[in-house]
Amino acid sequence: MVVIPLHRHLFFTLYRTIPIDVARVMLDDILIKIESPKGMAYMTSIHKKEGFREQRYFILPEYMQNELAAAELTRQLFVSDIGVFLQAKHHHRARPEGADAHIFIYCVEGEGIVERDGQETVHLRPGNLIVIPAGVPHQYWASDPNPWSIYWFHVKGDHAEQFIRLYELDREPRQLPRSIVSEFIARIDHSLAMMTARPFSIHTHVHISQTIRWLLSSIGHELMHVSQDTRRGAHLDHAIRYMNEHIATSIRLPDLASYTGLSKQHLSHLFNKETGFSPIDYFLRMKMQHAAIMLDLTDLTVKEIAAAIGINDPYYFSRMFKKLIGHSPTEYRKIPKG
């Protein structure tokens, strides 16, 4: 059996009578075969004719995938394919029956289009991560005017599916938090380098398995924090909107909590964390700020302004105003503004 040399210079030496451009095309079309103790294995060539600026990838032989699917330390999660495509002009993949692995694609530049299950079509832009679950029919392709650059991997195993379900990674393209981007790219590069250097070592795949496991949990953890921050911001906005709408009245903490859908304790904790004040203290400061604006822009008396913000006792209003603003209402009105 003929074993085709792995190194380009050996290939060109072997075929030195062939014009160099023809030899390159021949090499680009070859599946490099490697003799291994387990039998014949193969990996796809690193460079193809699709016109990408750079392609680095590795596809694990099927027999090796079967071994990893049976091994105790990898069977729940292992990587079968991994790669980096830069400025992937004309890149297109279609799998009408879906793939036998979960596909992760992260876009760092350019733009691409992903169609899942023949219905959902999404545009992938820089910073977007998309997951295509195993078995879901799909196709994806690079934008013609602005082809994407992507880091990608295929992962198999029950734990891979559980990570996706736990963190809802397959719902829509996710914007990968900046806190995890550099780590994501570094770990994909590292895993690809390891797999390329020692593809038939079980130690390599155990390490890659744990690397990807850590990466998935980190992505999920960061995305959950972003989601929680968004929800916290929404609850706070709702509460402040309610306060603005009721600035001329008094509000009770139970009513405010009921409006936001939070418990009194949770709402108080949220306000203290985000503003440094309890909800009622924050509301009082809002009232004083409204009063200051009326003192500047109207000729209303102090008593009328106090009533306009829901305080019937003008003396109490004056004390609170001086405590929070630093001047009595009368003194504040005399201060030149602008």
pLDDT score recorded for residue 10: 32
Question: Which 3 state secondary structure label does DSSP give 33?
Answer: strand
- The beta strands (E) that lie in the chain are given as 32-36, 39-43, 54-59, 78-86, 92-95, 102-109, 112-116, 120-124, 128-132, 138-142, 149-156, 174-175
- Bridge partners of 116, per DSSP, are 120, 138
Vertex 68 angle, CA 65 and 70, to 5°:
115
Band (pLDDT 50/70/90 cuts) for residue 218 is very high
Q: How far is CA 46 from the centre of its chain?
A: 28
31: left (phi over 0), alpha (psi -120 to 50) or beta: beta
Q: Are 56 and 84 in contact (CB under 8 A)?
A: yes
Band (pLDDT 50/70/90 cuts) for residue 231 is low
**143, 112, 145, 142: which is closest to 127 by C-alpha?**
112
Mean pLDDT across the stretch 233-248?
A: 90
Reduced DSSP (H G I as helix, E B as strand, rest coil) percent helix, strand, coil of the chain, to 5? 50, 20, 30
Band (pLDDT 50/70/90 cuts) for residue 259 is confident
Mean pLDDT across the stretch 59-69?
A: 96
Mean pLDDT across the stretch 97-125?
A: 93
Q: What tens digit of pLDDT does each residue of 171-199 get?
A: 888 888 888 899 999 999 999 999 999 99
- Structure token pair of residue 267: 């709402």
Band (pLDDT 50/70/90 cuts) for residue 338 is low
Band (pLDDT 50/70/90 cuts) for residue 37 is very low
Band (pLDDT 50/70/90 cuts) for residue 24 is very low
Q: Percentage of the chain with pLDDT > 90?
A: 68
Q: Which domains does the chain have, with CATH numbers?
A: 50-227 (2.60.120.280), 248-338 (1.10.10.60)
- Structure token pair of residue 175: 């914007």
- The runs of H, that is alpha helices, within 29-105 are 62-70
Question: Which 3 state secondary structure label does DSSP give 2?
Answer: coil
pLDDT score recorded for residue 245: 93
pLDDT score recorded for residue 148: 97
Rounded Cα gap, residues 11 and 296, in angstroms: 84
Q: What is the pTM of this model?
A: 0.60
Question: Which 3 state secondary structure label does DSSP give 170?
Answer: coil
Mean pLDDT across the stretch 208-217?
A: 96
Q: Percentage of the chain with pLDDT > 70?
A: 83
Q: Are 178 and 223 in contact (CB under 8 A)?
A: no
